[in-house]
Structure formats: C-alpha cells, structure tokens
Amino acid sequence: MLHSKIIKKMTAGCCLAALILTLSGCSGSKSTAPAAQPPSELKITYVKSPLNIPSIIDKNLQTVSKEFAKTNIKVAYPEINSGAKQTEALAAGSLDICSALGGTSAILAASNGVDLKIVGIYSRAPKAFNIMAKDPAIKTAADLAGKKVAGPKGTILHQIIIAALAEEKLQPDAVELLSMDIPPSVTAMLNGNVDAALVAGSDVLRAQKAGAHIITSGEGLVDATIVIAARGALVKNNPDIIKRYLSAHRENIAYMNREQAKAYEFTAQATGLAPEDVAVMAPWYDFAPEIKTADIKDLNETQDFLLATGLQKNKIDLTPYLVQL
C-alpha cells in the first residue's frame, strides 16, 4: 500500500547525502573547458499560473530581457503551461529554459531520455494545491470513497489525492479519477457532475466563492515542488547563461519582497484576481530558488509516486539532473 506521503523513502540517508555532496561539488567546481559561443536568442517559458508572481514581475519589468540585452541576446517568452509540452519543446531544442515546470513533468521527461537539468526551484506551495467539494457531507478524504473526482492526472494534484487517500488507508482506486484540466474540473464539481475536484491557485478562490470547500491541501502530504529546468547542452556549454538568468530571477523575487503592493498589482492585472485575493494567496508560496535538502527529498518522493502509479516506467538516479550553479 502506498504510504502517507506516497513514497517509500530512498534507501536511507546515504543516497540523499551523496546527492547533496554532488550538488555541492557542482557549485564549487571550476571547469577548464572554454564556454561555447552564446546563443543569439533564448526561449524561456512564461507561465503565470497558478500564481507565479516573479514571472509576472519579469513580464512587467523585463528584468531578464534587460540582463541579456547587455550582450545582444534576445529573449522570447513562449506561453506553454503544460509541463509535457514544455519538456517536448525542450527536447526538440525549441525551448531553452522552463521557468516553472512541475517536478512530475521534469522527472518523467528525464526518465524518458530528455536531456534536461534542474537548475533551481521555482516554488514550493503545498497550501496552493487542494482537494475540494461542494457537497457539505464530504468533509474528509475518507468521504470520497466510491465518488467521482476530476483533475489532472500525473501532476502534483494527482499526487496529493493519492497521499490523502493513503492517510485514510484507502487505495487509489477507491475513487474514480476523471482526468481533466483544473478549470473544467471546478466547473464539473460546481455543476454536480463530479463529487470533488483537484484545484490549485486562483481556481481555489473561485470555487470557494461559488460555494465549494477545501477537504484538504497538500500541506503535510507533499511539498508541491515546481522547478526551473534548462536544456542540458545549454547548462554544459554556457553555464554563465544560466547563472545570469538565475541572478535576474532573484532580482524579481527581491522586487516582490521589497515592492509588495506593486507586485500584487501586477499579479492582479495579469490574472484577473482582485488585489486582496492576491494578498490572500501570496503567502502560500515559497519562491526561494536554491535547491535545498528538502527539495531533493520531495523530488525523490515524487519519483516514487510516479513509479507506484505506473506513470513512470523506469527509475532513474536524479543526481545527474540536479545542478546548482
């Protein structure tokens, strides 16, 4: 049976320790090989949902574009929300950096041979990912047994419902999971076509205002890690490009912390939320970009979830895919 966090711990602390040491080695080592010719253009995804405040700030301030304009590198921002489509574009070479990519998508892509590197963490937001219902009789995950639940499969939200069911000693097949995107999942729940929905970001507030309630969030179940990923060849040949990108990204985070009211205003305009709703949701997110021990643990647990549910076929060592520059 799947454990409460879905995951069987990695073979003890030695594997985790080795991974941390590897990351430390990456950050401290100096390559003697000359950097390859920098690209003339960078393609970096713009993903504003569920509440990606640093990305929205960058859209307004053009922090990343201004940084690369110093060396005549143009920046394009394709809007690709789907994790699978982001990694497909990365594999095809039509995308350089995934600015906000679900940990599940990154791991699945890596296990399927996509040459990518996780170079930072975009966010951790377990409170932003929720299981919701409109029927007041459904109060806990145990009440979902035999019910229909709508939401996106193979995602953090899918991971959360499996974990929540496991907490109640229920197997994943205790519910009928209908795979669909978040907005239609909320609509189906509100219309009574399904009993519960897997909901994230601003859709949580939308559902609450329409009479739905939260059964449980991801807090205590998963860390809901979103990563920053880049093409492996770009990281290998032009590590300075990644360092400059991460530096500009940190500038956007600093602006968010320093100019909170303006940051929330930008976010309200981009998402259609009221500024007061942004203020409610913003504290759900931890945007610190450094890869921490807890992040490594969560990513390994995410891989165990993918393997246990059959979404991932081959287990991989995540060590080579994690790079701290």
Tens digit of pLDDT for each residue in 261-279? Answer: 999 999 999 988 899 999 9
pLDDT at 74: 98
Residues of the chain with pLDDT under 70: 1-35
Q: Exposed e or buried b for every residue in 61-92, given b needs 16+ CB within 10 A?
A: bebbbebbeeeebebebeebeebeebbebbbe
pLDDT at 34: 55
SS (H, E, C) 185-229: HHHHHHCCCCCEEEEECHHHHHHHHCCCEEEEECCCCCCCEEEEE
pLDDT at 287: 98
Which of 147, 189, 202, 140 lies closest to 169, judged by CA?
A: 140
Q: Which CATH architecture has domain 127-217?
A: 3-Layer(aba) Sandwich (3.40)
* Residue listed under structure tokens 């807090």: 219
Residue-level length of the chain: 325
CB contact set of 221 (below 8 Å; sequence gap of 6+):
4, 5, 6, 126, 159, 160, 163, 164, 167
pLDDT at 37: 87
pLDDT at 118: 98
* Residue listed under structure tokens 């640093």: 54
> Which superfamily, per CATH, for 12-124+224-321?
Periplasmic binding protein-like II (3.40.190.10)
Residue type, 264: Y
Whole-model pTM: value is 0.84
CB–CB of 119/325 below 8 Å?
yes
Residue 121 parent element (H or E): strand 116-124
Residue type, 71: T
pLDDT at 35: 54
On the question of a common fold for 12-124+224-321 and 127-217, the answer reads: yes
pLDDT at 12: 38
Ordered by start, the domain boundaries in the chain are 12-124+224-321, 127-217
CB contact set of 303 (below 8 Å; sequence gap of 6+):
107, 111, 312, 315, 316, 318
